[in-house]
Amino acid sequence: MKVTRKVWFQVGVGILLTLLIIKYFIEIHWIFSPLVIILKAIFVPLLLGGVLYYVTEPIQRFLEKRRFPRWASILTIVFGLIALAGGFGWMIGNPIAEQVNKLVKNAPMISSGISTSIQQLTDYVLQNKDNFPQQLNDVIEKMANSVQDIAVVASKGFVSFLQSIVSVSLLAILIPFFFIFMLKDHEKFAPSIYKYFSGERQQWVKKTLSEIDDVLRTYIQGQLQISFLLALIMYVGYLIIGLEYSLLLVIFAFFMNMVPFIGPWIAFTPALIVAVIQDPILVIWVSVVTLVAQQIDSNFITPNVMGKSLDIHPLTVITIILAAGNIAGFIGIIIAVPFYAVLKVIVSNIYDQRNAIKKKATKSV
């Protein structure tokens, strides 16, 4: 009896049960295939609808404090978003179209420039091959042998990416549905869950759901603000140094900056390629702009916007993002950190509740 009360025994039993559940779930996965297909169909619109909800929820709260009825606040937000999107498109539509046309027109030259740079690097490596250590020569030979395989994988990945864009576009009609539904009935979600509990357990579920809501709100609103400010700083920097396609690069950077730590360096890559082709000296200036933007973000923007609300170590974030990218691709990278933050809240509350029960049992004895 004493052994069964040990923490290590209870944890071990929990792990074994979890592994057994996973094993049997995998063996009968075909039963859940229709459910998985449905979830895949609605996941992206639900995700984007949730992001729009957390971005606009403070506006709805502000309007309803000014005695706006619910339907009026929803209509105001929806029409406001349409007007904002239209005005944004009107302001930057022509510059984007011009830069896209220029990019398409110069695509052969860019491709030729990249090929020339690769050829020059290859020639240099081949000429100095005898001066390199044997281990480096082995690595170079393996890379040369796998270039074709890399090209095939990249082309397949590009096709898959295009298919994903088409799928998301076809499902875009669901985004307004989920968004408006969340604005209308978001206050009913938590009660619909904790109504099935009673007493202290109901209070625990209510507290946990409230903390999950706070974590998601903080992360989404904070990350969007950080991404926007970083993109603005980079755009000003690119304009100052005269980098071509600066608006396209900054729009790409805005979306990539939503991925903590890794995202800004992903956004740096296309800017670096454009700089190499336009003028190699610009590589230095693009690096300086990126470094300055990152320093401003890490020392001023993120501490003031996010604070210590998530309290996740940078190494943990990088590990989670890399693992999620391998498991679920780009979508996994996007949702990895908020998913971990929600899981952390749940586990932390379970641990606190368990300690409270132990203390109460100890006092009663």
113: tokens are 């420039």
Number of other CB atoms surrounding residue 141 within 10 Å: 11
- Identify whether 43 is part of a domain: yes
Cα maximum dimension of the chain: 81
Q: Tell me: do 110 and 229 sit in the same domain.
A: no
Same domain, 122 and 214: no
- Claim to verify: residue 355 and residue 239 sit in the same structural domain: yes
Listed residues 184, 216, 247: the one ending a domain: 184
For residue 60, being part of any structural domain is answered with: yes
Beta-carbon contacts of residue 193 (< 8 Å; ≥ 6 apart): 205, 209
- DSSP character at residue 300: I
Say if 145 falls within a structural domain: no
Q: Which of 126, 120, 119 is nearest to 140 (CA)?
A: 126
Instruction: Identify which of 47, 52, 110 has the alpha carbon closest to the alpha carbon of residue 77.
Output: 52
In whole angstroms, give the CA distance from residue 33 to residue 211. 32
Same domain, 206 and 179: no
Phi/psi for 166 (5° steps) reads: -65, -45
User: DSSP letters of 282-336?
Assistant: HHHHHHHHHHHHHHHIIIIIHHHHTTTSS---HHHHHHHHHHHHHHHHHHHHHHH
* pLDDT for res 340: 87
Q: Is residue 153 part of a domain?
A: no
Instruction: Report how far residue 345's alpha carbon sits from residue 212's, in angstroms, rounded to the nearest whole number.
Output: 7
222 and 107 housed in the same domain = no
In a domain, 66, yes or no: yes
Residues 180 and 242 occupy one common structural domain: no
Residues with Cβ < 8 Å from 212, sequence gap 6 or more?
342, 345, 346
pLDDT in tens, the chain (365 residues): 555 666 667 777 778 888 887 777 777 666 666 776 777 777 778 888 888 899 898 899 999 898 899 989 999 999 998 888 887 777 666 666 666 676 667 666 666 666 666 666 666 666 666 665 666 556 556 655 555 455 455 555 555 655 666 666 666 778 888 888 988 888 888 888 888 888 888 888 889 998 888 888 888 888 888 888 888 999 999 999 988 888 888 888 888 888 777 778 888 888 888 888 888 888 899 999 988 988 888 788 777 766 555 667 777 777 887 887 777 777 787 888 888 888 888 888 888 887 777 777 676 55
Would 159 be classed as within a structural domain? no
Co-location of 68 and 180 in the same domain: yes
HSE-up of residue 206 (Cα within 13 Å, Cβ side)? 13
Q: What pLDDT is stored for residue 79 in this prediction?
A: 92
CA 74/CA 136 separation, integer angstroms: 61
84 and 200 assigned to the same domain: no
Structural domain span for residue 226: 194-359
**CA pseudo-torsion sign 27, 30, 31, 37:** positive
* Same domain for 180 and 234: no
Rounded to the nearest 5°, which phi and psi values hold at 351? -65, -45
Give the domain-ending residue among 142, 166, 184: 184
Assess if residue 314 is contained within a domain: yes
Q: Which of 73, 98, 68 shows the shortest CA–CA distance to 245?
A: 98
**Structure tokens given for 20:** 């057994």
Count of other CB atoms within 10 angstroms of residue 227: 21
Q: Are 180 and 226 within one domain?
A: no
CA torsion through residues 195, 196, 198, 202, sign: negative
Identify the DSSP state of 58: H
Are residue 99 and residue 208 in the same domain, yes or no? no
Give every CB contact of residue 241 below 8 A, 6+ residues apart in sequence.
282, 285, 286, 289
| Cβ pair 178, 49 in contact under 8 A | yes
Considering the domain boundaries, does residue 30 fall inside one?
yes
Q: What is the CA radius of gyration of the chain?
A: 26
Residues 255, 267: Cα–Cα separation, whole Å = 9
Does 114 lie in the same domain as 257? no
Number of domains comprising the chain:
2
DSSP state, 68? -
C-alpha–C-alpha distance, residues 121 and 143, integer Å: 13
